[in-house]
Amino acid sequence: MFKKGVLRELFDSLFGKTWPMWVGGILLALLNILLFVIKYPWGASGGYVNIGQNLFQSLGAESLGTSTPISLHTVALLNIFIVLGAFISSLFSKEFSIKVAPIGELVKGLIGGALMGIGATIGIGCTTGGFFSGVPALSGGALFLSLGFLLGTIVALKYILWEMEALPNISMGKSCTLISGTGKKTGWQRWLGWILIAVVLYIFSSYTGKGTSLSKILGWHIFIALILGIILQRSRYCIVRAFREPFMTGEATATVAIIISIIVVLIGFTVFKYFGVGNAGETAVRAIEMKSVYANFWLRALIGGFIFGLGMTLAGG
């Protein structure tokens, strides 16, 4: 009984309250370093491209398809299981609900998302792969991508402030919440969370049990994605806030958390890029040095980052 009480107390401490963002940032940084060692640092936009290509292919648009299924694409699996991990975390904390925003916010979310997709394609990177992994990898293109994020954020904020004064009704209107996370009948959320944990662990075991190098890599990406999603949900870690809040509210909590995590990733990446991983030869070390370094220096990164910065600020995340 004592052990059960201790475990329950630990569980409640993890999922009963929000974690400090800097704690989440450090944990995400450490996991990003692990991804660097396993195959490649954390990214996102390439996975969405693969998911989109598979979707087009399933609809018969072979010219827009790909030969790599989602089940064999590491970044696509990362994206899917990060969302699933965040969903499980929200269930454990009994915070899950379906919230439908006013129509104006939905439209801005759609436009902002489209701008982010365009910006990530042009700039060859997003806030995850291009910034969170690219800057610590000392990529010159990542620095200009980040500058584009900053400029795009400033311009989009000026629009939002103008909209609030001139067109306040755009973001107002009817909203609703379905399956509310508050109330007495919420015990099902944690039961569903445990079921999904078991499912993810089964998938992880299925991949790693095949014995091939690729299947082991894919399996560990699934497991790490689960943890990434939980950390993101509990710490409310958001790179957009780091660019937006200093100009919008004057707060720097998110900015400080991002800086701390970038420094941790920078140290880890630098060590592996300098010494290699294991007994890597000279050719392998060179390949390691080029991880998260893209051919987007400098104008392409700046333009793509600017468009992405507009979109992420307009969409609100």
Give the Cα separation of 144 and 283 in Å (integer): 28
Segment 194-243, tens digit of pLDDT: 999 999 999 999 999 998 999 999 999 999 999 999 999 999 999 999 99
State the pLDDT at residue 282.
67
99 in helix, strand or coil? strand
Q: How confident is the model at residue 168 (pLDDT cuts 50, 70, 90)?
A: confident
Q: By percentage, how much of the chain surpasses pLDDT 70? A: 95
If you average pLDDT over residues 269-279, what whole number do you get? Answer: 84
State the pLDDT at residue 1.
44
User: Of the given ranges (42-51, 179-188, 241-250, 271-280), which has the lowest mean pLDDT?
Assistant: 179-188
Phi, then psi, of 178 in degrees rounded to 5: -110, 150
Residue 2 has pLDDT above 50, yes or no: no
β-partners of residue 70 are: none
Residue 31 has pLDDT above 60, yes or no: yes
Using CA atoms in the order 163, 167, 171, 175, what is the torsion angle rounded to 10 degrees? 170
Segment 90-125, tens digit of pLDDT: 999 998 988 888 999 999 999 999 999 999 999 999
Give the Cα separation of 266 and 83 in Å (integer): 25
Phi, then psi, of 100 in degrees rounded to 5: -100, 115
Q: Domain map of the chain by residue range?
A: 19-315
DSSP H stretches of helix in the chain: 2-15, 21-38, 45-58, 74-92, 103-123, 140-166, 187-208, 213-235, 239-248, 253-275, 282-289, 299-315
Q: How many CA atoms does the CB half-sphere of 137 hold within 13 Å?
A: 26
Q: How confident is the model at residue 3 (pLDDT cuts 50, 70, 90)?
A: low
* Residue at token pair 């293109």: 141
State the pLDDT at residue 275.
86
Give the Cα separation of 119 and 302 in Å (integer): 10
The pair of three-digit structure tokens given for residue 260, joined into one six-digit string: 């701390």
State the pLDDT at residue 169.
84
Of 249, 247, 196, 239, the closest CA to residue 87 belongs to: 196
β-partners of residue 100 are: 176
Cα angle vertex 290, ends 284, 292, to 5°?
130
C-alpha distance from residue 134 to each of 40, 122, 288, 294 (Å): 11, 15, 13, 8
CB 189 within 8 A of CB 181: yes
220-247: b or e for each residue (b if 16 or more CB lie within 10 Å)?
bbbbbbbbbbbbbbbbebbbbbbbbbee
State the pLDDT at residue 49.
95
